[in-house]
């Protein structure tokens, strides 16, 4: 049975949780690390069906702030067989909320609820939440009531996270983040609003509008209009070649044979199956 310990880390680049897993046994184990918070159970990004050998260390940059979190390690297969092990709950304390590129933690920007020494939420932010559903109405002959066909109601959309900055340094940091990605990881502080928002929100941000409020009079106040839709967490899949160049050389007697096999195939298709 593996052993799981967790630690709340609050140093740079942003608050996070470190999960230490030991005792898996010598040999490959297929493991999923689950995070349980806000009455939801989600896999830790990068640790779903991961292959580990005896021990591993996982960092969860998506951990919500200011609420108890429990981590569960599910061993799907391995030397010691399937198992589930939970660690003691942990709380990540932070004086601010955070917004960042979910794939680049060093871009994290602290956000406060009112004006201060960091980027701050403007009064219009988080004032309302929209939950859209795809509903189509069809009129029925002989009835004054149409038939409704609808899909599942979506997560928050058109979420207003408009911000302000009071210094050139704050503005440059926020601007660099918004220019680098169209998807954001937003971790609101528990003290913000009355909507009981999820502690981890991935936002698709199509447009961010920069408004220099008083820079023409020598000030440094800048507003950012930011509205986004809540989406699934990003995932990265790496494509690796099954065959080496040496394998292809052994199996092909001439280069013309290889060219014939490549006809009509894309480069990625050829990487996946270079001899078929």
> Which 3-state string (H, E, C) describes the chain?
CCEEEEEEECCCCCCEEEEEEECCCCCEEEEEEEEEECCEEEECCCCCCEEEECEEEEEECCCCCCCEEEEEEEEEECCCCCEEEECCCEECCCCCEEEEECCEEEEEEEEECCCCCCEEECCCCCCCCEECCCEEEECCCCCCCCEEEECCCCCEECEECCEEECCHHHHHHHHHHHHHCCEEEEECCCCCCCCCCCCCEEEEEEEEEEEECCHHHCCCCEEEEEEEEEECCCCCCCCCCCCCHHHHHHHCCCHHHHHHHHCCCCHHHHHHCCCC
More confident residue, 273 or 183: 183
Q: Does residue 96 have a pLDDT over 90? A: yes
Q: Does residue 226 belong to any structural domain of this protein? A: yes
Q: Are residues 7 and 75 in the same domain?
A: yes
pTM for this entry: 0.77
The number of folded domains in the chain is 3
Judgement on whether residues 264 and 189 belong to the same structural domain of the protein: no
Residue 244 reports pLDDT greater than 70 = no
pLDDT bin (cut points 50, 70, 90) of residue 237 is low
The confidence score (pLDDT) of residue 62 equals: 95
Residue 107's pLDDT is 93
Q: What is the pLDDT of residues 42-79, one digit of tens each?
A: 999 989 999 999 999 999 999 999 999 999 999 999 99
Residue 166: CB partners within 8 Å, gap ≥ 6? 115, 120, 220, 221
103 and 225 in a single domain? The answer is yes
Q: Are residues 107 and 79 in the same domain?
A: no
Residue 147 located in a structural domain: no
Percentage of the chain beyond pLDDT 90 is: 61
Measured distance CA(62)–CA(181) in Å, rounded:
17
255 belongs to a structural domain: yes
Compute the mean pLDDT over every residue in the chain, rounded to the nearest whole number.
Answer: 88
Statement to judge: residues 81 and 101 lie in one domain: no
Write b or e for each residue in 26-54: b if 16 or more Cβ atoms lie within 10 A of its Cβ, otherwise e: eeebebbbbbebbeeeeebbebeebebeb
pLDDT of 93 reads 95
Q: Are residues 85 and 199 in the same domain?
A: no
What are the CA-CA distances from residue 57 to residues 61, 76, 140, 232 (Å)?
A: 13, 18, 60, 24
> Would 175 be classed as within a structural domain?
yes
Q: In the chain, what percentage of residues exceed pLDDT 70?
A: 94
Residue 236 banded pLDDT, cuts 50, 70, 90: low
Do 161 and 219 fall into the same domain? yes
Exposure on the CB side of residue 251, measured as CA atoms within 13 A: 12
Q: Are 53 and 111 in the same domain?
A: no
Q: Are residues 102 and 188 in the same domain?
A: yes
Indicate if 28 and 112 belong to the same structural domain: no
Q: Are 250 and 183 in a shared domain?
A: no
Q: Is the pLDDT of residue 164 over 90?
A: yes
Whether residue 135 is contained in a domain is answered as no
Residue 146 lies in a domain: no
Residue 141 forms part of a structural domain: no
Which residues constitute the domain of residue 188? 97-126+157-231
């Amino acid at each position: 049975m593996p052993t799981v310990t967790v630690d709340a880390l609050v140093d740079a680049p942003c608050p996070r949780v470190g999960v230490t897993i030991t005792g898996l046994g010598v040999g490959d184990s297929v493991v999923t690390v689950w995070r349980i918070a806000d009455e939801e159970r989600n896999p830790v990004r990068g640790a779903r069906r991961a292959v580990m050998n005896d021990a591993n260390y996982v960092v969860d940059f998506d951990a919500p702030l200011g609420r108890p979190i429990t981590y569960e390690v599910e061993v799907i297969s391995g030397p010691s067989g399937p198992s589930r092990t939970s660690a003691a709950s942990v709380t990540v304390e932070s004086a601010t909320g955070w917004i960042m590129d979910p794939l680049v933690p060093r871009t994290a920007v602290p956000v406060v609820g009112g004006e201060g020494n960091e980027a701050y939420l403007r009064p219009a932010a988080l004032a309302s939440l929209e939950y859209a559903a795809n509903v189509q109405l069809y009129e029925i002959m002989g009835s004054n009531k149409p038939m409704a066909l609808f899909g599942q109601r979506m997560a928050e959309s058109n979420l207003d996270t408009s911000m302000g900055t009071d210094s050139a340094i704050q503005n440059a940091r926020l601007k660099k983040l918004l220019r680098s990605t169209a998807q954001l990881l937003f971790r609101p502080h528990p003290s913000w609003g009355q909507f009981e928002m999820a502690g981890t929100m991935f936002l698709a941000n199509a447009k961010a509008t920069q408004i220099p409020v008083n820079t023409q009079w020598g000030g440094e106040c800048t507003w950012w209009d930011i509205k986004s839709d809540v989406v699934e967490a990003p995932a990265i899949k790496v494509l690796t070649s099954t065959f080496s160049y040496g394998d292809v050389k052994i199996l092909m007697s001439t280069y013309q044979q290889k060219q014939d096999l490549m006809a009509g195939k894309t480069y990625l298709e050829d990487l996946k199956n270079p001899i078929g």
